[in-house]
Structures are given as C-alpha cells and as structure tokens.
Amino acid sequence: LKLDILDQGLSQALVSVFRLSGCTQLPVAMGMLCVLSTACLLIRIGEGIIIRSDKVDSDYRVDASAYPAVFSYPNTVKRGVNCAATLVDSAHAITAAHCFDPDSPQPPFPVTIQGKKFVVKKALVHPCFSFDEDGPNSADLAVLVLSKDSSTVPIPVYDSTDEVGKTFTFVGWGDTGPAGSSTPAEKNGGGILRRAQNVFTAVEGNTLKYVMDAPKDGALEHEGMGWSGDSGGPAFIESDGKLHIAGVNSGGECCEYGSTDQFVRLSSELSQDWIEASIDANSAQSVKDCSAWGSTGGHPDDDHPDDDHPDDGHPDDDHPDDDDPDDHHDARLFELGMISGKLGSGHGVWVWPIALATMLFVSLGLLSLTLRRGVQAFGSVQRSHSDPVE
C-alpha cells in the first residue's frame, strides 16, 4: 500500500487505508483503532531531491522516459531504498561505490532500463573507497556490468574541465522535501523521478561542489540538492546540444539553504583512466597510490543519510545509528519502518507522537466502553435475581 497524503489529503488517505487493510471486517470502534495503527505503519508522503521551499513537489517531477539511460537499483525503488546509475555504453553504467557497502544488496540483481529487464552481473567498485571511513568522496565510483547489451542510447562522459560556473541538471528517485532546518522523512520518494538544477561552484580533489541557494540569493528556478536515495545518480551538463554526464552523486550536507553537496568528477584524468581501464579489463583496476584520490575519508557531512544507506555504519552518515544524522552519503538510502512524512507544513516531527496519542485515546475509549457494558450487564443480572417472582 502506498499513499501520497500530499495528493489525496489525510482524510481520503485514511479511508483508503481502512478499505484496503482489512479493517472493514471489524466492529466500527475496533476498526478505527485498526486503521489508525495501519496508517501509522503504511502512510508515506510521496515527494528525492531537496527543493526550494517556495516550490511544490510537482514542479520537480519528471517522467522517467525523459532519461532512459538512467535507472534505479536494486529493484527496491518502491520501498524508497535505491541508488541510481547511468549507462555510458551498451553494457556498462556509472554509479557510486558507497552503494555497495557490505550491508547492501550485491550483484547479481535485476534492473529495468527503458522498460526492459536486465541483470547487473557485477559491480566494479573503486579500490580506494573505504566503507569503514565512508570515503573519500573523490573515489566514490563504481561501474555496473550488465549481463547483455542494451539498445538504449548511452550518455557520453563529459571530458572538458570547465565545470565550475556551469549549470547542471540532476535526477533521482530519493527522499525529498523543502530546504529548511529539518531533514526529509525517510523513504518518501514514492518511486517517482525528480529533476533539479544547480551550478557547480568549486572543484575539490576529484569532486565537484555545489550549494543550495535561497531564492533571495539568486537560486535557479528549479534549484535543488541531492539527498537519500539519489546516490550514484548523474549530473548532466549540456554540450553541443547533447547531455553529458559530468558527475556521480556522492555525499554532502543537508538540507538548509547554504548546504553543500558533492558529485564525483568524471572529466578528470583520474576518473576517466580508471573507468576505461576497468571496463576494458572487466575488473576493478587496482590503484598503487590512493593519496591522489584524497587522503581523508568521509563525506564532509556525509550529507546523505544513507550514503545513501542510513545504516551502513558510516560514522558520518545519516543513518539513525550514525554519529551525524544529517550527512547524506546520501542519506540516500535511509530507512525507517514507521511513519515517515509530513502533515501540512511540518516535517513529520509530530506525526508519530500524535498518532500514538490518538491510538491511546481510542484504546482508552474502547476500554471504557467495555467496562461500562460489563457493569451494565452485571447490574442487569443482579436485578434479575432480586426481582420478586409474580
């Protein structure tokens, strides 16, 4: 069951839960308790990408057919747990290394590309990326190898080194919400592709940095920032009328105006040599000296809750267990089994307590009703014994 409160409203959502959960088979009072419990477990707000606070989610939604070479994996996007990859030739796709931490699904696994089924048979993960240190972002690269060729037109890799100052477009299926002091609820992407834009502001090591600007500071019309579930996704720069992939979504900070995020830079000699050599050898190529890829591990704030995996144990990751709940290395795979979403303009902070309070209130009401009926029944029995027989 997947409900989008923002689209259909709370009352209609609760009615949908009531109808689909089996609660209709219960008495009215118990049915209401049932539906509240089910709603707390199942309702998710459907909005991945951090958007301008003065915009609505529908402004950023895009049909996946607009980017046929980009796909999500593993095949769990409906649960909000995913990374993304981009075809760079008929049988290989570029993504992020941190998507393959030991706790994440490993190949082989199925994917869908432009409506056709494929199997990712191997992931060539950059050897300089450390899962223990969750970095460095400069080496957050991996190549996915398909079991057969795809007919989908691939995206060429950007080979110019003039990215700073250029506007780029990025897409993802991850968690979403407006820029502000609160991070988005986990697993709320709803399996919907979103598109945003930003401007690269600096090159740092082998990464491209950008900032989430406020509207008053000259934000783009569809200014955005990647978040949990967007890891591995592409940053596109248009050149000669064609899209080129310039970066792979890695990690950064979230989710206020002024927060910074990073894409792995693909135009560098480091990236292009390693990618080409690994594809040619069908094996992740070793690196003699990882210092060229960055001497410190970690995503600055790991600004991806999950690194895209909230629980992947990256100390800075925004996993509930990590030391820094705001880093999204991408918080991008962050996951909670309870309610995740927002009502009205809030960010879900009060939803769970309110739901619990409501459930407690209903439970007490049912208990009170049961006791009252018990007392009435007992009184009726007493009267029947004390009444004289005519």
Q: Report yes or no: 339 and 41 within 8 Å, Cβ to Cβ.
A: yes
Q: From 242, 7, 294, select the one nearest 133 (Cα to Cα).
A: 294
Kindly tell me if the per-residue pLDDT of 84 is higher than 70: yes
**Chain-centroid distance, C-alpha 252:** 14
Read off the pLDDT band of 175 (50, 70, 90): confident
How many residues in total does the chain contain?
390
What is the chain's mean pLDDT, rounded?
74
Kindly tell me if the per-residue pLDDT of 99 is higher than 70: yes
3-state class (DSSP) for residue 330: coil
Calpha distance 182→224 (Å, rounded): 15
Name the token pair of 221. 């019309």
Q: Which range among 28-32, 129-133, 160-164, 345-349 has the greatest average pLDDT?
A: 160-164
Mean pLDDT for 255-275 is 96
Read off the pLDDT band of 239 (50, 70, 90): very high
Burial class of residue 291, CB neighbours in 10 A (0-12, 13-18, 19+): exposed
pLDDT for residue 282 = 97
Q: Cite the beta strand spans of 212-255 per DSSP E.
A: 224-225, 234-239, 242-252
Q: Report yes or no: 355 and 39 within 8 Å, Cβ to Cβ.
A: yes
Greatest Cα pair distance in the chain: 107
Read off the pLDDT band of 11 (50, 70, 90): very low
Cα-trace Rg, the chain: 25
Mean pLDDT for 234-238 is 98
Residue type, 273: D
Least confident of 99-103, 106-110, 250-254, 292-296: 292-296
What's the start-to-end Cα distance of the chain, in Å? 62
Beta bridge partners of residue 265, listed in sequence order: 247
pLDDT for residue 145 = 98
pLDDT for residue 294 = 83
Q: From 289, 328, 288, 297, select the one nearest 310 (Cα to Cα).
A: 328
Q: Report yes or no: 111 and 122 within 8 Å, Cβ to Cβ.
A: no
Read off the pLDDT band of 81 (50, 70, 90): low
pLDDT for residue 331 = 41
pLDDT for residue 359 = 61
Residues 277-301 have pLDDT tens digits of: 999 999 999 999 999 998 533 333 3
Ramachandran region, residue 227 (left: φ > 0; alpha: ψ -120 to 50; beta: rest)? beta
pLDDT for residue 300 = 36
pLDDT for residue 180 = 87
pLDDT for residue 227 = 82
Mean pLDDT for 194-221 is 97
Cβ neighbours for 308, distance < 8 A, ≥ 6 positions apart: 83, 96, 98, 99, 174, 228, 229, 230, 231, 232, 251, 328, 329, 330, 331, 332, 333, 334
The Cβ of residue 11 has, within 10 Å, a number of other Cβ atoms equal to 9
Decide: pTM greater than 0.75: no
Kindly tell me if the per-residue pLDDT of 33 is higher than 60: no
Residues 339-384 have pLDDT tens digits of: 233 333 333 333 445 555 666 666 666 666 656 665 555 454 444 4
Mean pLDDT for 153-174 is 96
Read off the pLDDT band of 82 (50, 70, 90): confident
Kindly tell me if the per-residue pLDDT of 312 is higher than 50: no
